[in-house]
């Protein structure tokens, strides 16, 4: 199973396990069945212990950011938050309400990114991910592609030479992660070279999670 790609520097690889199939599989996990009368232990007359419900451990982000004049347009952008079980399927997936999508300070970054935003999201009333520990504040950016993503992209039949890397950090004191890719629809089709220096060209940039992010992030710098 591939490893989570942690970027304290571009060469540091973390050891957090992630799911290969986390790109488009957003089915909600069914509830655990409870023991029936037929499950009674006839020797002791006791009911076997019910299976333990798995705890959500990871989350992922997917969506679209609209860029105009080098700036993110919050009202035209969207972010989907999904929460995942450890080594199992997703617990939920919800479209968030974006409260903040503004340029962030890049002074503490170890890599030059094309965009870097402070992001605040909230879950709408009745969201299936409510109460599962998904973060509401984080930093998100688009930057250089990292070839360590090649095996995942090749398996998904996505191009490796036209897309950008997708970066995230929970707070300025936490480690920087590359966890996915971003690009225009043309770039996901393998057309158009990525720009190497800011600003990012205007357009609609889809971003797709390739690796899962820990809900409880112990990796401070």
pLDDT digits 0-9 by tens, 2-16: 334 443 322 222 322
What is the per-residue pLDDT across 80-93, written as a single tens digit (0 to 9) for each? 999 998 766 788 99
Residue 87's pLDDT is what?
60
Residue 46's pLDDT is what?
53
Region for 89 from its dihedrals, namely left if φ exceeds 0, alpha if ψ lies in -120 to 50, beta otherwise: beta
Instruction: Tell me the pTM.
Output: 0.77
What residues pair up with 214 in beta bridges, in sequence order? 58
CA separation, residue 65 to residues 44, 118, 119, 129, 216 (Å): 60, 13, 12, 22, 26
Neighbours of 12 (CB within 10 A): 13
Which candidate, 197, 80, 191, 85, places its Cα nearest to that of 140? 80
């Amino acid at each position: 199973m591939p490893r989570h790609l942690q970027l304290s520097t571009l060469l540091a690889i973390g050891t957090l396990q992630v799911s290969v199939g986390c790109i488009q599989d957003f089915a909600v996990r069914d509830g655990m069945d409870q023991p029936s009368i037929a499950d009674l232990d006839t020797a002791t007359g006791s009911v076997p212990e019910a299976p333990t419900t798995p705890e959500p451990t990871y989350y992922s982000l997917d969506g679209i950011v609209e860029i105009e004049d080098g700036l993110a347009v919050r009202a035209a952008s969207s972010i989907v938050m999904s929460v995942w079980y450890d080594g199992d399927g997703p617990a939920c997936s919800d479209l968030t309400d974006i409260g903040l999508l503004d340029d962030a300070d890049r002074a503490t970054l170890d890599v030059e990114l094309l965009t870097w935003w402070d992001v605040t999201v909230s879950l709408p009333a009745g969201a299936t991910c409510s109460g599962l520990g998904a973060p509401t504040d984080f930093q998100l950016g688009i930057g250089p592609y990292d070839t360590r993503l090649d095996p995942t992209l090749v398996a998904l039949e996505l191009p490796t030479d036209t897309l950008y890397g997708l970066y995230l950090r929970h707070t300025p004191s936490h480690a920087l992660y590359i966890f996915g890719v971003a690009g225009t629809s043309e770039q996901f089709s393998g057309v158009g070279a990525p720009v190497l220096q800011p600003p990012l060209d205007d357009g609609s940039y889809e971003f797709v999670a390739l690796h899962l992010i820990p809900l409880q992030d112990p990796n401070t710098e």
